[in-house]
Amino acid sequence: MERVPLERKVLNENDRIAADLRARFQEQGTLCLNFISSPGSGKTSLLERTLSSLPKGERVAVLTGDIQTENDANRLKRYGFPVKQITTGGTCHLDARMIERHLADWPLEDLDLLFIENVGNLVCPSSYDLGEEAKIVLLSVTEGEDKPLKYPSIFFKSQLMILNKVDLLPYVPFNVNAAVENARKVHPGIEIVKVSCLKGNGLDEWLIWLEKKRQAQKEKQPAAVR
């Protein structure tokens, strides 16, 4: 059975919506970041530490995706910023139409920063553009350092790799240098930040990266809108 034309049609429609979202984000100066990882790598924990570091008046919101439950949204709502759960009901990724639908009653002119926490999966999310400025892939030291070679698409498409749970390095057989080398075999230009959401290591470096991206996004905003 020939299934490629249907797949192309779905992805073409997704890309059309994503392009419209990206244009809207750029017009309003909204930085949109798409976080992708295996389940349990620490996306929600990183967002918790990030939100807790931001002043309460910051214009920040979060869309978080899961197959079932609103557990992650409930964790993130504690920090006082708008959060919506996207429950996919079995779909292993978010798509641009889901983002468009859940942003319908959030005026983008009121948002400087939008975090999207994708469904825990290194395969499906890599094929779907959500209109984000950058994909960010998380790899934890409790996984294998060969993950970038096993799942090259998402590491190739990500601007930043966050190596998480570095506080566990004394207790797990994980080779940091090999993980970095493997990521750069796939994507030589990928930026890498090493963090521990539990202990706080590296979080300042992550926040500096985030602020640079926010300023760069503002510079893309049309002068008439600034």
Position of tokens 């521990």? 196
DSSP 3-state percent helix, strand, coil across the chain (nearest 5):
45, 20, 35
β-pair partners for 87: 66
- What pTM does this model have? 0.93
Residue 65 CA from chain centroid, whole number: 11
**Secondary structure class of 83 (helix, strand, coil):** strand
The upper half-sphere exposure of residue 223, i.e. CA atoms within 13 Å in the direction of its Cβ, equals: 0
β partners of residue 196? none
Q: Provide the pLDDT for residue 1.
A: 45
**Tell me, what amino acid is at 97?**
R
Two structure tokens written together for 158: 């990500």
Region 183-210: mean pLDDT is 98
Segment 100-115 shows an average pLDDT of 95
Is residue 137 within 8 A of residue 170, CB to CB? The reply is no
Q: Which fold has domain 4-220?
A: Rossmann fold (3.40.50)
Distance CA 161, CA 140 (A): 10
What integer pLDDT is reported at residue 9 of this predicted model? Answer: 66
**pLDDT band with cut points at 50, 70 and 90 for residue 225:** low
The separation between CA 168 and the C-alpha centre of its own chain, rounded to angstroms, equals 23
Residue extents of the structural domains in the chain: 4-220
**pLDDT tens, 36-59?**
999 999 999 999 999 999 998 899
* pLDDT value for 220: 83
Mean pLDDT of the chain: 93
| pLDDT tens per residue across span 134-145 | 999 999 999 999
Q: Collapsing DSSP states into helix, strand and coil, what is residue 103?
A: coil
Over residues 152-194, the pLDDT tens digits come to 999 999 999 999 999 999 999 999 999 999 999 999 999 999 9
**CB–CB of 119/94 below 8 Å?**
yes
Compute the chain's Rg from CA coordinates.
17
Contacts of 142 (CB under 8 A, 6+ apart): 40, 165, 168, 172, 174
